[in-house]
Amino acid sequence: MEQAKQQSTLVSAIGWIMLVAGLLGVVGLGLNMVFLGLYEQGDGGVSLTPDEVSEMPPLFFRILERVWLILGLAWASCLVMGLAGLGVVRRREWGRLLSILLLAISVLVGFVGAYASLGADAATMDGTMIPRPVSIVLNTGLALLTAVLHGWLIWKLNTPAVRAEFKKVP
């Protein structure tokens, strides 16, 4: 009789967190897209005065122009994260590899965001609540913290003991 493999609690936690967060994102963003679609078909009931429009930061309008693209990409990424979590929970090799890829991408996105805050011009930062130096320090610090945490998780998912838990079959 084959002895059952010991399963890492940390790996199970990673899988469940990714699965639940991904599913919550899919449902939440899906509802946002439904409500936005209904809102756009109706009157909307919102009208801004020229004074209100002039007080809004330019970044607000850039986001508003691309809201469907942003919501769609966020929804798709939550779906992929949920699938990766399911793969990790079921101890599938594709789930482990997809989780590692998502963790690495999040590190990259964190550093891209921190770099973007360094090069943000006054028009982009206009109307934000956080002073630029504070924003730079926070963004850089969060990028570094994310890199350390996700780097450790990637390392943990690549240890021989954890790799042995995963099946290469679909």
pLDDT tens digit string along 32-42?
999 888 776 65
How many other CB atoms are found less than 10 A from the CB of residue 128? 12
Percent of the chain with pLDDT over 70: 81
- Per DSSP, the three-state class of 4 is coil
Q: What is the pLDDT of residue 2?
A: 44
Q: What is the pLDDT of residue 65?
A: 80
CB distance 29 to 74 below 8 Å: yes
Give CA angle at 143 (19, 155), nearest 5°: 55
Phi/psi region, residue 44 (left: phi>0; alpha: psi -120 to 50; beta: rest), is left
Q: What is the pLDDT of residue 170?
A: 61
Average pLDDT, the chain: 85
Please tell me the least confidently modeled range out of 71-80, 95-104, 118-127, 136-145: 118-127
- Identify the CA nearest to 17 among candidates 71, 84, 75, 69: 84
- Identify the CA nearest to 78 among candidates 117, 31, 25: 25
Numbers of helices and strands, H then E, in the chain = 8, 0
Enumerate the domain spans of the chain. Answer: 7-42+51-163
- d(CA 132, CA 126) in angstroms, rounded, equals 10
Phi, psi of 105 (to 5 degrees): -65, -40
- Per DSSP, the three-state class of 90 is coil
pTM score, whole prediction: 0.79
Residue 4 predicted with pLDDT over 60: no
- d(CA 143, CA 114) in angstroms, rounded, equals 7
pLDDT tens digit string along 13-61?
999 999 999 999 999 999 999 988 877 665 555 566 666 666 777 777 7
How many other CB atoms are found less than 10 A from the CB of residue 121? 8
Please tell me the least confidently modeled range out of 3-7, 23-27, 97-101: 3-7
